[in-house]
Amino acid sequence: MKVRPTYTDSDYKLAKEGCGDVHRKGILPLDKFSVHLSSVSSKRGSFINAIYLPSYTNRRAFIVTQYPPEEEAVDFLRLLNDHESDTVICMDPLKDIESSTTWLPTPSSSKVVVPLNVHYQSKAGTDVKSTKIHMVQNNSEEEAHSVTIIEPIVAMKTSGNPLDTSQLRSLVSVALSSENEKPITVVSKDGACLCGFFCAVHNVIQQINMDDCVDIFTAVRQLQVRRPEFCANFDEYGLIYRSVYDNIQSTTENIYSNQ
């Protein structure tokens, strides 16, 4: 915590101008890491509370944001469209996020989020729940943009005994298996809690798989440069170690069981 970077109001100038009074007391994006919206929507600007985060191999692997309130649902969908993100990983079961009903259609239905129509496609689930949707702009001949929404089956906890890291590791596994270079959108209630934890575990496991070494301290520090609120308590930081350890154990068990 002592080596986290410190920033001043001038580092959040664009965010303070664009976010309005509602979000000003929340976690804001640093100007130099902000993600902006490029598509045009009536009475909506280019600001969204989102930042880019790196993986171990890609400096723009993730877009991290928060669940949108009802009036900002269109901005969240614009974000996915504008930045061609076709995977959204949620840190909470969406049944616990009331505002998700404004943009996520129920089975065999559609949602109109002007100027977009959002259509339900399919659902699957084993360790995590996966819902596929596609979005198309009203009166547009452009091809629909398909997005897969991934969410845990149950709420993830960062404290308690025993700690179960299986849900988090299942979410990370989805991200690691992604075969394209498009950014993965990671979403939580405030755009920080659990998001930094998820990205840190992903990056460390990626480092282990590629280089057979591990440096959790540096992985977390690199993320905190972009959002100092990441991994801001000892429980969440410690759970990164636990998750990586559990991943190594499960991988080792699978190797031996296959011999």
Query: Above 90 in pLDDT, residue 139?
Result: no
Q: Torsions phi, psi of 24, nearest 5?
A: -60, -25
Give the CATH H-level superfamily of domain 9-250: Protein tyrosine phosphatase superfamily (3.90.190.10)
Cβ neighbour number for residue 76 with a 10 Å cutoff: 25
pLDDT above 60: residue 257: no
Query: pLDDT (tens digit, 9 = 90+) per residue, 239-256?
Result: 999 999 999 999 876 555
| pLDDT category of residue 233 using cuts at 50, 70 and 90 | confident
Domain boundaries, the chain: 9-250
Reduced to 3 states (helix: H, G, I; strand: E, B; else coil), residue 51 is: strand
Q: What is the per-residue burial (b if ≥16 Cβ within 10 Å, else e) of 103-116?
A: bbbeeeeebebebb
Confidence (pLDDT) at 241: 95
Task: Please give the model's pTM, rounded to 2 decimal places.
Answer: 0.93
Tell me the per-residue pLDDT of 71-121, one tens digit each, with 9 for 90 and over. Answer: 999 999 999 999 999 999 999 999 999 999 999 999 989 999 999 999 999
| pLDDT band for position 1 (cuts 50, 70, 90) | confident
Task: Give me the mean pLDDT over the 11-34 stretch.
Answer: 83
Give residue-wise pLDDT tens across range 159-196: 877 788 999 999 999 999 987 889 999 999 999 999 99
For residue range 36-70, what is the model confidence (pLDDT) as tens digits?
Answer: 999 888 788 899 999 999 999 999 999 999 999 99
**Cα–Cα distance for residue pair 8/14, rounded to 1 Å:** 13
Q: pLDDT at position 179, please?
A: 76
Check whether 259 has a pLDDT greater than 70: no
